Each structure stands twice: as structure tokens, then as C-alpha cells.
Amino acid sequence: MESEPEEESLVQLIKKGNKSSAVAMIGNAVIAAIKGVAAAYSGSGAMFASAMHSFADAINQGFVFVGSVLSEKKPTRQFEATEELTFFSWPASSTKKKTFIPIL
């Protein structure tokens, strides 16, 4: 009788995530906050649009980080193809274009 592999904790998985995407996410969030304050102070629509763009970039980097964390999970009996699925599906979430990537 096979035993289930020991599950990693969430903290252990997060530590394995892509550090550069985490730093980029935090940096873009800080930039978005600064631009948001500047937009509120100046009333500039262009600055508000730039703040929203930086916020969208931060969210995009968050998706990339989450994908890198999920790709580090060990396969289980229920989800044997976890690594392969995240490998083939992460480019779809990290691009701004609508792409179709088949998952086999």
C-alpha cells in the first residue's frame, strides 16, 4: 500500500517562488500607489491612467509569481499532472494578448 507523499506547507512553497516576479509585483504596486496619489493631488486623467496601468502590471506579476509557486508543488495521486499543466498554462496568464495554449 502506497502512502501519500508529505504535503509542503504554503510558506515552503512561497519561498520556492520566482523572487524576481515577487519583487517586480511589489515595485509596481508601490509605483501605482505613488502615481495614484499624484493623480488625486493633480487631478490629471493621464496620471490616473498611468497608475491603473502600473496596478495592472503588479497584478500580472502576481499571476506570474503564483504560477511559479504552483509549479513547485509535487504531484499527488489525485493531480498527477500538476507540474505539466502549470508549465503549459502559465504563458497564457502572463501575457496581455488573448492566446490559446492547448493543455494536453
pLDDT tens digits, one per residue of 36-93: 999 999 999 999 999 999 999 999 999 988 888 877 777 777 766 655 555 555 555 5
pLDDT of residue 39: 95
Q: How far apart are CA 19 and CA 69, in angstroms?
A: 10
Q: At residue 103, does pLDDT exceed 60?
A: no
Residue of 63, 61, 56 whose CA lies nearest to 35:
56
pLDDT of residue 104: 45
Q: Where residue 6 falls among pLDDT bands split at 50, 70, 90?
A: low
